[in-house]
């Protein structure tokens, strides 16, 4: 499995590269809903995340050992720390918030504001300054996300700390994304980095599942197996690979802006696979979000 990093001049030579990668990123990012929808009825959130990350890491392990440079202890420890942030704290934080009865619509909305946090962090940490047009595009995209999510928003009765957990999880992933862009030791071949990160997540999620009394045995059902296949192959391998590669090639705020399209595309997945209804507000929100992403991503 080759290193997915490209030369710095590649984006200038291939004008269609970013639209193609942004499309793959949005499809993959939004598809996580499908795998969770299949598997969530069969297992607790920590057991689900344990098997998602364990299978991902085990599949990648032989490729990580056979292909790519020899990794120093410093690089491995950096990848482990990144896995704690980008896999365990990010995915686990949202999962725990939902388990504490924070409404799913509110969790999804906070998660989908990730690009806004990344845009705010990219200037002080990386020196990537957004133009006035890009900030306008960000505001328009956020408005589109709010339109799409409005019907599903409720406050709920979860403890106060659980609401803070959703915001904290989003901010942690935003910081991890900016960190990945700025630290050279994180720029190893994608399959090696993702292997270390997912195995780190598997160890921590497995410990959480044991503490919660869920055990580690997977449900032997068709829906759980289908959900795992979807989460591993599409939501993990395809999505994270495209995301990390995009961060190496393009400004971090530009990459993250594509994620604003995740909510409306998720609703299209739900309509196509689970016959969930589409509303005029969803299409209006999609149009507004597209305009905002276009303004933010334009060069």
pLDDT tens-place values along the chain, 299 residues long: 334 444 444 445 467 888 888 888 888 888 777 777 677 677 788 898 999 999 999 999 999 999 988 888 888 998 999 899 989 998 888 878 877 777 666 677 777 777 778 777 776 666 667 677 777 877 887 787 777 766 655 556 677 788 888 888 888 888 888 877 766 666 788 899 999 999 999 999 999 999 988 889 988 888 888 888 988 998 889 888 898 888 888 887 778 778 877 777 877 777 777 777 777 877 787 788 778 777 776 65
Is the separation of the CB atoms in 183 and 127 below 8 Å? no
How many CB atoms lie under 10 A from the CB of residue 159?
A: 12
217 vs 149: CA distance, rounded Å: 35
Q: Is 135 helix (H, G, I), strand (E, B) or coil?
A: helix
Among residues 90, 76, 291, 299, the alpha carbon closest in space to that of 196 is found at 76
């Amino acid at each position: 499995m080759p290193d997915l990093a490209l030369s710095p001049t590649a984006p200038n030579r291939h004008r269609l590269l970013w639209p193609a990668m942004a499309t793959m990123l949005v499809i993959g990012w939004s598809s996580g809903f499908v795998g969770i929808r299949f598997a969530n009825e069969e297992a607790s959130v920590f057991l689900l995340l344990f098997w998602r990350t364990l299978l991902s890491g085990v599949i990648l392990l032989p490729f990580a050992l056979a292909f790519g440079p020899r990794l120093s202890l410093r690089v491995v420890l950096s990848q482990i720390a990144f896995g704690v942030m980008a896999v365990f704290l990010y995915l686990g934080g949202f999962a725990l918030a939902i388990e504490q009865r924070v409404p799913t619509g509110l969790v999804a909305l906070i998660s989908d504001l990730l690009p806004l946090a990344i845009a705010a962090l990219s200037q002080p940490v990386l020196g990537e300054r957004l133009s006035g047009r890009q900030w306008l595009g960000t505001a328009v995209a956020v408005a589109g996300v709010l339109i799409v999510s409005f019907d599903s928003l409720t406050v709920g009765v979860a403890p106060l700390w659980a609401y803070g957990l959703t915001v904290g999880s989003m901010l942690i992933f935003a910081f991890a994304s900016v960190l990945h862009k700025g630290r050279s030791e994180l720029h190893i071949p994608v399959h090696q980095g993702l292997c270390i990160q997912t195995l780190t997540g598997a160890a921590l999620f497995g410990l959480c599942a044991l503490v919660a009394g869920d055990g580690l045995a997977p449900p032997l059902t068709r829906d759980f197996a289908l959900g795992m296949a979807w989460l591993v192959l599409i939501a993990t391998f395809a999505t994270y690979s495209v995301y990390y590669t995009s961060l190496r090639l393009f400004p971090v705020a530009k990459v993250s802006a594509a994620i604003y399209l995740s909510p409306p595309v998720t609703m299209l997945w739900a309509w196509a696979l689970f016959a969930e209804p589409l509303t005029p507000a969803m299409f209006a929100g999609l149009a507004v979000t597209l305009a905002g992403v276009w303004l933010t991503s334009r060069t």
